[in-house]
Amino acid sequence: MRKSLTTSLVALGLVVPSVASTERLTTRSLNMYGLPSGLIDMPTAEVAPDAQLSTTVSHFGGTTKTSLSFQLTPRLTGTFRYSAIRGFKNVPSYALSAYYDRSFDLHYSLLKEGKYRPAVAVGLRDLLGTGLYGGEYVVATKSLGNKLRLTGGLGWGRLGSHNSFASTGTRPTTLLGGGGLPNVDKWFRGPVAAFGGLSYQHNDKLSFAVEYSSDAYTRETTQNVFSHKSPWNFGLKYNFNNNVQVGANYMYGSELGVYVSVALNAKSSPVVGGNDTAPVAVALRSMKDRGDLGWTLDQTAKPQIRQGVAKALARDGIVLEAMRLDANSAEILIRSDKFDIESQTTGRSMRRLSRALPPSVETLTVTHSNNGMPAGSVTVKRSDLENLENASADAILQRAKFSGGSDVRNLEQLDGTYPRLSWQFGPSLQLSVFDPDSPVRADLLLNLEGDYHIAPGWVASGALTYKLGGNLDGLSPNRSGVVAVDPAHAVRSDARKYAVGAGPKIDHLTIAKFGRHGDNLYSRVTFGYLEQMYAGVSGELLWKPVNSRLAIGAEVNYVAQRNFDQRFGLQDYKVATGHVSAYYDLGNGFHTQVDVGRYLAGDFGATLSLDREFGNGWRVGAYATKTTLSTASFGEGSFDKGIRITMPMSWALGNATKRSTKTTIQSLARDGGARLNVDGRLYESIRETHGADMAKTWGKFWR
């Protein structure tokens, strides 16, 4: 019953975020574990502001913890942690100077604070790791005025190791060898101990805390990592602003602890209002002008109007690819290399059309181009545009109609649209984390990449890299013992061999054909050197109705492993892979994806992904892959999993741009559950122009 209750609470926070109150006991402070808490080493019932993403680095007693915490919903907090313990003897046979440990926590707010009732939360620490930091807790926190907060709780595992007063059964004490598996048999079992403390917010900058810890640090003290002399901890925290905080603590009667945290919120841009130029005003027509069809008698009018529309759109960084125009309606096929929010591109295009089209044109349709094919359309009455310009974005959304748009053959292509070349040149950083010999490795590369759009739907793409410096070629050799279809070839775990040498190297060199077959069906075929490690052919079909939350896709690949020098040579290893994928918008900003099929090592299985997405382009999510490859064969980590974060540069800079930074935090590259990396997969680019997705960002229609 105890396990079922905990599991249900966690599921409730993930799947039904809409029931969560936004008025919970919040704090911007974090503790030494990177968890939102006004205390030092112990948890509280506090949560961070919704959508806060925080990074914390803390050190005390020979241990350095680096934590990434995200407020998944107003109730649920997730924290990923990477710890290095100097002098810890519980290390693998390939002895290292420190023991490195990964752990993951969930913290769930059960009750918000009332007038007399404290806030109450439940937490699982290190629930998907070796169990080194494993512990569970139930905790209550109460505010006394605006400055003082009192906390008391009960802990199990590590949090039940000092002065325990009861027990809820036998708790296994061994660490999980490979890690990565849920420690279900330990949850809320074993000795129970009490912890507590108080925090005092002196002013906006400075706060103090004192706590009684229930963690005896048994393994660390047994191995003389540090000396635990007292359960009392004392600390102070200083906020430079809402984003940066530092702290200093006197801990366990023997140690000085320090930490620094950096926080940002995916909902709130650091640039208030943005730096983009204001859009043009909607042009108003008189009733008399609306019925004037005189322009239709002029044979030169349409070409002139098309050129006028193209020039007007270009002032906003929008390119007109094709157009259809008649007496009362117009449709344009556009692309934008500037705006990353499609609703903003649509709104600016509509404003320009109101000023560039004859007054008799009442129905305006903006169709977005994806590699030359129509992806999604928005139709608005021009009179609605005129009447609702100063109303809320929701008002025009109620009048807008979303569709798949016209066949490109029904539109007149503008001269000079094809062929065209786009390219960029500059540095990039390639990272690897969690190598047991060196937790962070990186290569600094110089990239030259470009796309040549031959004709609508046809794209040639390539990229060359040159290594300026770095140490990815020093990655640890494959210790997992994983074998692929051909035991002589590791499909991903030999990544270090691809990092040897400066180059130049061919990152990818491909030709792709994109197509649309009816209102809901899209296709892609890509041939060539698909990615750093594999060459071959990749084909994809996507069924995606424009107003549906559901999409279904299928992908088939046949590839050969590339030579380590990343030139034109190929190795003997060849494999057919493929997946059937289901995509679903859960609502409330949550999106899920399930992929089922065959992976690069010949193993069969499934990948489940869950992301929280924001209207400004932010995405924070996680994925897990389990295949027919056994836990023992997979190696450390037991199965493939990771955290992924996408930050739009427009959010950070305040200027419209399509650039973004994408970070994936995962274990070392393993062979199990490995997928092909191929550019141009359909779903992400198609759905951004469809109604279900565009409605999320519709607030930018008038921006």
DSSP string covering 205-242, please?
SEEEEEEE-----HHHHHTTSS----SEEEEEEEESSS
H or E stretch covering 369:
strand 363-370
Q: How wide is the angle at C-alpha 554 spanned by C-alphas 549 and 555, nearest 5°?
A: 135
Does residue 21 surpass a pLDDT of 80? no
Question: What's the average model confidence in pLDDT over 71-88?
Answer: 91
- Give the residue with greater pLDDT, 412 vs 533: 533
pLDDT score for 482 = 47
Choose the final residue of a domain: 401, 417, 433.
417
- Kindly report which listed range (14-18, 327-331, 393-397) carries the lowest average pLDDT score: 14-18
The answer to whether 300 and 639 have CB atoms below 8 angstroms apart is no
- Answer left, alpha or beta for residue 592, where phi above 0 means left and psi between -120 and 50 means alpha: beta
Question: What average pLDDT does the segment 235-264 reach?
Answer: 94
Tell me if 274 is assigned to some domain.
no
Answer for the pair 618, 660: CB distance below 8 angstroms, yes or no.
Answer: no
Residues 467 and 391 grouped into a single domain: no
Question: Residue 478 pLDDT more than 60?
Answer: no
What distances in angstroms separate CA 408 from CA 328, 350, 517, one per listed residue? Answer: 20, 20, 11
Does the pLDDT of residue 3 top 50, yes or no? no
Residues 606-620 pLDDT 10s: 999 999 999 888 999
* Pick from 304-313, 393-402, 439-448, 628-637: least confident: 628-637
**Residue 79 clears pLDDT 90, i.e. is over it:** yes
454 and 542 belong to one structural domain: yes
Q: Does 584 map to a domain?
A: yes
Asked whether residue 48 carries a pLDDT value surpassing 70, the answer given is yes
Q: Are residues 240 and 353 in the same domain?
A: no
Pair 316, 439 in one domain: no
pLDDT, mean over the chain: 88
Specify if 15 maps to a domain: yes
Residue at a domain's end among 417, 435, 455: 417
**CATH at residue 185:** 2.40.160.40
> Which residue among 360, 383, 417 closes a domain?
417
* pLDDT exceeds cutoff 50 at 480: no
Q: Tell me, what CATH number does 403's domain have?
A: 3.30.300
CA angle 75, 44, 83 (to 5 degrees): 95
Q: Is residue 207 part of a domain?
A: yes
The reply to whether 511 falls in a domain is yes
Q: What is the DSSP letter of 452?
A: E
More confident call, 551 vs 177: 551
In a domain, 275, yes or no: no
Shared domain check, 594 and 493: yes
CB atoms near residue 377 (< 10 Å): 23
Q: Are residues 428 and 410 in the same domain?
A: no
Q: Closest Cα partner for 454 from 355, 357, 372, 567?
A: 372
Q: What is the pLDDT of residue 473?
A: 81
- CA triple 588-611-73, angle to 5 deg: 50
Q: Do 483 and 545 belong to one domain?
A: yes
Backbone angles phi, psi at 472, to 5 degrees: -65, -25
DSSP calls for 612-651 = EE-TTS-EEEEEEEEESS-HHHH-TTSSEEEEEEEEEHHH
Instruction: Assess whether 381 and 511 both reside in one domain.
Output: no
Q: Are 539 and 622 found together in one domain?
A: yes
* Judgement on whether residues 336 and 406 belong to the same structural domain of the protein: yes
Q: What is the pLDDT of residue 637?
A: 62
Band the pLDDT of 9: cuts 50, 70, 90: very low
Does 7 have pLDDT greater than 50?
no
- Domain residues for the domain of 168 are 2-265
Residues linked to residue 69 through DSSP beta bridges, in sequence order:
54, 79
Asked whether residue 88 carries a pLDDT value surpassing 70, the answer given is yes
Q: Into how many domains does the chain fold?
A: 3
Helix (H) or strand (E) holding 348, with range, is: helix 342-356
Q: Which residues face 61 on adjacent strands?
A: none
Is position 272 within any domain?
no
Is residue 130 included in any domain, yes or no? yes
What distance in Å separates the CA atoms of residue 201 and residue 190, rounded to the nearest whole number? 35
pLDDT at 504 over 60: yes
CATH no. for residue 518?
2.40.160
Distance between CA 59 and CA 134 in Å, rounded?
A: 19
Q: What is the pLDDT of residue 12?
A: 36
pLDDT at 622 over 60: yes
Identify whether residues 498 and 543 lie together within a single domain: yes
Q: Which two tokens stand for residue 341?
A: 């929010």
DSSP class per residue in 158-188: GGGSSS--EE-S----SPPSS--S--GGGTT
Buried/exposed code over 404-427 (b: 16+ C-beta within 10 A; e: otherwise): bbbebeebebbeebbeeeeeeeee
Answer yes or no: do 11 and 47 share one domain. Answer: yes
Check if the beta carbon of residue 323 is closer than 8 Å to that of residue 331.
yes
Give the phi and the psi of residue 54 in degrees, each rounded to 5: -130, 140
- Nearest Cα neighbor of 58 from 41, 79, 72 is 41
Question: Counting beta carbons within 10 angstroms of the beta carbon of residue 683, is it exposed (0 to 12), middle (13 to 18) or buried (19 or more)?
Answer: middle
